[in-house]
Chain A
Amino acid sequence: MLRIEGLSKQYRTGDKALAGVTLEVPQGQVMALIGPSGAGKSTLIRCINRLVEPTAGRVILGDLDITRLGSRGLRRARRRMGMIFQEYALVERLTVMENVLSGQLGYVGFWQSYFRRFPQEAVTEGFRLLERVGLEAYYDKRADELSGGQRQRVGIARALIQNPDILLVDEPTASLDPKTSRQIMRLICELCEERRLAAIINIHDVALAQMFVGRIVGLRLGAVVYDGPPDGLTPGVLTEIYGEEDWTAVRRKGKAEAEDHAHGVLTDEERMAAM
């Protein structure tokens, strides 16, 4: 369903974030992407929907070569890729419903979105999704009034209202407590199963990834160093991905540990580039 071929990214600063990544994600598969900070996880998923322009390689969604699209075609392609963010990235001064409906922006014209006149099907779907993520009473609350877990649920609804084929998920639990983290991961995985969605989930927390997904890809210095089932992550493999450390605790699954969640390596300028 999604094919990534020889994807590379070199930033203008000279940092090589991705060095020829090749991956294939079939329909309905939820895949976790792990690796140390700076390994290129954020860059990889942003190269897929070209929030960051890749330097070389191809990204093929279905039979559409995303890397060759012009700006109009790219906007259409982005509708098929829902994105969920580390710090939720909701527009804080907009209401919950406005945030959810912003997932429809690729489908409606400017004036329609300017006056918030979304098609009734979209509004209905918005309410349905809010109910599904447990926020049906919050539709007119402002996004900055919600807690972290609630915000992430709105973020999930926003991604799903795009009616995507794949979810690109960037550290969904990095700013949440262990319990909320599990709830959010469970919700994402359930929704993917319900809708036969593929997903790529960047995640720091190895134990959490092992709990929920069927396939794990380990990235180190912009290259894939592991691709296999969760229980294939032996101490030797983890050392190859992250470097030398005592891995026995991670191997004991389900033991929630407080991780030091470093932030992504993208600078503001890179995020805003090409806007």
Chain B
Amino acid sequence: MSTATFDARRWRPPPLIKNARLRWALGIGAAIYFAIAIGSLQVNWLRVYEGLDRGWAFVLAFTEPDFVSRWVDIRDGMVESLIMTVTSTVIGIIISVPIGLGAARNIAPLPIYLLCRGIIALSRSFQEVIIAIFFVAIFGFGPLAGVLTLSFATIGFLSKLLAEDIEALDPAQAEAIRATGARWSQLMNYGIQPQVMPRLIGLSLYRLDINFRESAVVGLVGAGGIGATLNTSFDRYEFDTSAAILISIIVIVMIAEYSSGMIRARVQ
């Protein structure tokens, strides 16, 4: 066949949606929906204007944060938050590992898989604040409710990501261990664990700083920690103390971020 035959032959990449009419209908439909949705947001511009002042006061407070007058409260709140964070992360990891193993389709039998996926779905379907309200109702105000909330949320997060990592691992390495006559526990220790360990460590560190941030949020609904202190300062309109608390949270999150990044780089 001569090349001349192809001289005028044009080429475009195939479209994502083959049917041209459907393609246009979806595009135009989405645009109309978006326009209507924007139109339905009723913005009271007068109220926005009035609120700007309050917002500005809040921003100004950041320029002169007050660490001193409520120092004891801030310190106790921080310590409580850090304890909640570490405790809940450790408890979460301990429970997540077996659930994560059970939720990996390539190593778990179907009934266990479904059970573990069910637990994960349950944990992931509720936002931390909702769970915190539930636990505060059961166990009363204080850090216990917070620890339980964060542990519960950690399970959904870690188990799911661990299970997905296990499902994506290299089956040849595990197969080779199986071929030596290893028992199941040894297969986990030699064939699976080395492959998922760096990611498990990375995810645990990531979850540690998520849990710290969340500990501030669940405190707002009474589950202890720095969030409770923050809530009190809001209620008293002590925005300079609030600013001091928020700055402390930012600093701790940044420290956690940098140190976890360094650790993750080392355990490859």
Contacts and interface: CB of A to CB of B under 8 A. Distances in A.
Given A51-B175, A87-B172, A275-B178, A113 B195 contact: no
Interface stretch (A54-62, A72-80, A217-225, A228-236): A72-80
Binding site of B, secondary structure by majority: helix, strand, loop or mixed? helix
A106 B186 CA distance: 9
A17 B147 CA distance: 54
A68 B221 CA distance: 61
10 contacts: A51-B179, A85-B176, A94-B190, A94-B194, A98-B190, A110-B185, A162-B180, A268-B106, A271-B175, A275-B107
A102 interface: yes
B182 A49 contact: no
A232 to B, nearest CB: 32
B181 interface: yes
A103 interface: yes
Contact of A102 (B175, B180, B183, B184): B180
A271 B175 CA distance: 7
Contacts of A107: 181
B194 A92 contact: yes
Interface of B: 106-107, 170-187, 189-191, 194-195, 197-198
Nearest to A87: B172
A135 B195 CA distance: 24
A204 interface: no
A188 interface: no
B268 to A, nearest CB: 9
Most chain B CB neighbours (cut-off 10 Å) among A92, A106, A268, A275? A275
Given A91-B194, A93-B197, A275-B107, A113 B189 contact: yes
Interface in A166-193: 168
Contacts, number: 99
Given A110-B189, A113-B190, A89 B178 contact: no
A41 interface: no
> Closest 6 CB pairs between A and B?
A106-B181, A78-B181, A105-B182, A89-B176, A93-B194, A89-B172
A79 B174 contact: no
Interface residues of A, number: 37
B111 to A, nearest CB: 16
Nearest to B185: A110
Given A94-B190, A268-B106, A81 B179 contact: yes
Interface in A77-125: 77-79, 81, 83, 85-87, 89-94, 98, 102-107, 110, 113-114
A106 B176 CA distance: 12
B184 to A, nearest CB: 8
A91 B173 contact: yes
Contacts of B173: 89-92
Contact of A275 (B185, B187, B189): B187
A78 B180 contact: yes
Contacts of A155: 176
A269 interface: yes
Given A105-B190, A275-B174, A93 B195 contact: yes
Contact of B181 (A87, A90, A94, A105): A105
A158 interface: yes
Given A89-B172, A105-B181, A275-B178, A114 B189 contact: yes
Given A103-B180, A106-B182, A272-B175, 9 more contacts: A51-B178, A83-B176, A83-B179, A83-B180, A91-B195, A93-B197, A94-B194, A102-B180, A113-B186
A102 B176 CA distance: 9
A104 B182 CA distance: 8
A102 B194 CA distance: 13
Contacts of B107: 272, 275
A83 to B, nearest CB: 4
A86 B107 CA distance: 22
Contacts of B186: 105, 110, 113
B182 to A, nearest CB: 4
A76 B179 CA distance: 11
Given A91-B177, A93-B194, A269-B106, A75 B182 contact: yes
B171 A271 contact: yes
B190 A102 contact: yes
Contacts of A90: 173, 176
Nearest to B104: A272
B195 A105 contact: no
A92 B180 CA distance: 17
Contacts of B106: 268-269, 272, 275
